[in-house]
Structure 1
Amino acid sequence: MANPSIERIDGVRCTTGESPAWDALARAWHWVDIPAKRIWRLDAAGKTRAWDTPEMPACVAPRARGGLIAGMETGMYDVDLFDNGSVAVTLLGKPEALGEGMRFNDGRTDRQGRFWSGTMFMDMAAAKDVGRLYRYDANGLSAPVVDGLLTQNGLSWSPDGRTMYLSDSHPKSRLVWAFDYDVASGVPSNRRVFANLAGHVGRPDGAVVDADGCYWTCANDAGCLLRFTPSGKLDRRIDVPFAKPSMCTFGGDDLKTLIVTSIVSGKPEDAEWGGAVILLRPGVQGLADAPCAF
């Protein structure tokens, strides 16, 4: 299958673009630029706007009541963006294990509206497996649900919500795992390897599941998106114009548009596109992420 045409979002270049999320109620995309301490929005009319935050936002998701929930440097926060350019943040929970040099990273809601995000040690060269995965729900911030992670990434859920996916994008790992997921309690179990990118290309960064149950991962450092079937078989590759795609998600009114963020690589051949945010239509439909219900 030929690569779909790519639309670049004008006026946007992120140092570390991450965590695109479609807000169906607002008919808008949000994403973050982590080191710039910035949250971006693209509305249905094609207008972009940015808000500066008091600390680094790593991931965001819309809330059912309006506004966003975010994993940031020091915890999970409630975030409200105002038309006058101001931002209000309220701490929802802070993990005891979130030590110096750490922050939250990838995040997404499950099908029931619980918000999940994991932590990482920011100096990836140190290769410290101190990252942990957390859940935020009616009981607040959970204790660590998964630990021993180098660079937590790739959260997504199967269409029926009964399989949870999680990756570790560190060069020393490059694994995607699947878990059985109890939709009533929000507890994952039976962890097993779903895909090992050592047998493919790149590192498994942010990801999303489509309506067919296939798992799309951003192959960071390889300049492409890889789609795996529910059985873990690679069945499609889409090349993108930057070296370091970071996360993707489906959105738009028909849920057939895929938005992809990227990271500046610093390589001369990546100078034009590195840090861009793009839209493409791969010919499949996505799933509407549940807004955070808590």
Structure 2
Amino acid sequence: MEKVSGVHCKTGESPTWHAGEGAWYWVDIPARRVWRLDCASGATRYWQVPEMAACISPAARGGLIAGMESGIFHLALHEDGSVSAERLAAPPASELGEGMRFNDGRCDRQGRFWAGTMFMDMAAERAVGNLYRFTTGEGLSRPFVTGMLTQNGTAFSPRGDVMYLSDSHPQRRMVWAFDYDIASGSPHNKRVFLDLGAQKGRPDGAAVDADGCYWSCANDGGLLQRYTPAGVLDREIALPFAKPSMCSFGGPDLSTLLVTSIDPGTAGAHGWPGAVLLLRPGAQGLPEALFA
């Protein structure tokens, strides 16, 4: 387990491996930063973006697709440190009102971008979050899932025919599975995959490995947990911070996990809150699809 040097995030999120560049990208939401780690050299850098970005995926045309405060953006990150941000789509104001933003998201195996919204003040317990699909051809979809408190945990099975989604709010702590129509990009047959209400931690960001197992960051539990496709917990890794937020497989052999975390800013927080970790958990991941 290795700490990425020189990096501290208030709310590290949405790590993603860019195979073409041999690099990881992730965000620090409140700092409005997009970070990059070059795998070969270990060099890190960041770009300031114009509003909070919470989820990103590499785009086939270059740059990143991002779910931000006011919609879905394309971000072009320039060598001089500047950023070109183009808003591509946004939900109606009635669905993305004041105090809301996009949260967790990633591409399906075909390169469609999925992202959900949330009300940022979690203490308000406002179940107004929705899950959307975005493509260049069809734009932003209607909400496929509604009534979420803190949308999270979006991931897809190796064949792409199962979609996972979590609600990490303390009042929910649920992960659902959906049958996923690969041709149309539509989830259906929603069912409970994991009910974690009685378990330590909350199911935050996640990734799926080559065996189809779901790796979930147990926020507030300080754990990385692997669940089989049948929903059985078969591995658990203790982490040096209480609030892991999301993980991503990468590296040349897709056998390294990058794990982001949240610094709660409380006195006496143990370990390395806000750190970014690299570890080799003995499993291999799957390539992340570029936004098409």
Aligned mates of 2:196, 2:267 — CA distance in 1: 25
Output one character per residue of 1:231-289: Cα deviation in whole Å (capped at 9) or x when no partner: 01111100100000000010011000000000012343425500000000001100001
Q: Who is 2:124 aligned against?
A: 126
Unaligned ranges ≥5, structure 2: none
**Aligned letter for 1:292?**
F
Aligned mates of 2:141, 2:42 — CA distance in 1: 37
The 8 Å contact of residues 264 and 274 in structure 1, kept in 2 or not, is answered as yes
Q: Who is 2:219 aligned against?
A: 220
Q: Who is 1:181 aligned against?
A: 180
Output one character per residue of 1:97-129: Cα deviation in whole Å (capped at 9) or x when no partner: 110000000011000000000000000000000
**Aligned letter for 2:77?**
L
Say whether 1:52 aligns with 2:48.
yes
Say whether 1:116 aligns with 2:111.
no
Aligned mates of 1:53, 1:267 — CA distance in 2: 27
Say whether 1:71 aligns with 2:70.
no
**Aligned letter for 1:55?**
E
Q: Who is 1:20 aligned against?
A: 15
Output one character per residue of 1:162-201: Cα deviation in whole Å (capped at 9) or x when no partner: 0000000000000000000000001000001000112322
Q: Who is 1:92 aligned against?
A: 88
Q: Who is 2:58 aligned against?
A: 62
**Aligned letter for 1:189?**
H
Say whether 1:152 aligns with 2:128.
no
Residue 105 (structure 1) aligned to one of 92, 103, 106: 103
The 8 Å contact of residues 61 and 108 in structure 1, kept in 2 or not, is answered as yes
Partner SS for 2:197: helix
Aligned mates of 1:257, 1:132 — CA distance in 2: 31
**Aligned letter for 2:156?**
W
Q: CA deviation at 1:221?
A: 0.1
Q: Who is 2:197 aligned against?
A: 198
Unaligned ranges ≥5, structure 1: 1-5
Say whether 1:250 aligns with 2:217.
no
Q: CA deviation at 1:79?
A: 0.3
Aligned mates of 1:149, 1:276 — CA distance in 2: 28
**CA RMSD of the aligned region, Å?**
0.8
**198-207 or 167-176, which moves further after superposition?**
198-207
Aligned mates of 2:111, 2:101 — CA distance in 1: 22
Say whether 1:80 aligns with 2:76.
yes
The 8 Å contact of residues 242 and 270 in structure 2, kept in 1 or not, is answered as no
Q: Who is 1:3 aligned against?
A: none
Q: CA deviation at 1:66?
A: 1.2
Output one character per residue of 1:28-87: Cα deviation in whole Å (capped at 9) or x when no partner: 100000000000000121100010011001011101121100000000000010010000
After TM superposition, the runs of 4+ consecutive aligned structure 1 residues lying more than 6 A away are none
TM-score with structure 2 setting the length: 0.97
Output one character per residue of 1:134-185: Cα deviation in whole Å (capped at 9) or x when no partner: 0011211111111010000000000010000000000000000000000000
The 8 Å contact of residues 240 and 270 in structure 2, kept in 1 or not, is answered as no
TM-score with structure 1 setting the length: 0.97
Q: Who is 2:133 aligned against?
A: 135
Identical aligned pairs, as a percentage?
A: 64
Q: Who is 1:11 aligned against?
A: 6
Partner SS for 1:108: strand
| Equivalenced residues, count | 288
**86-95 or 264-273, which moves further after superposition?**
264-273
Query: Does the C-alpha gap of structure 1 residues 272 and 219 become closer, same or farther in structure 2, counting only changes over 3 Å?
Result: closer
Q: Who is 1:239 aligned against?
A: 238
The 8 Å contact of residues 246 and 263 in structure 1, kept in 2 or not, is answered as yes
The 8 Å contact of residues 243 and 265 in structure 1, kept in 2 or not, is answered as no
Aligned mates of 1:183, 1:86 — CA distance in 2: 37
**Aligned letter for 1:11?**
G
Aligned mates of 1:163, 1:271 — CA distance in 2: 36
Aligned mates of 1:119, 1:108 — CA distance in 2: 13
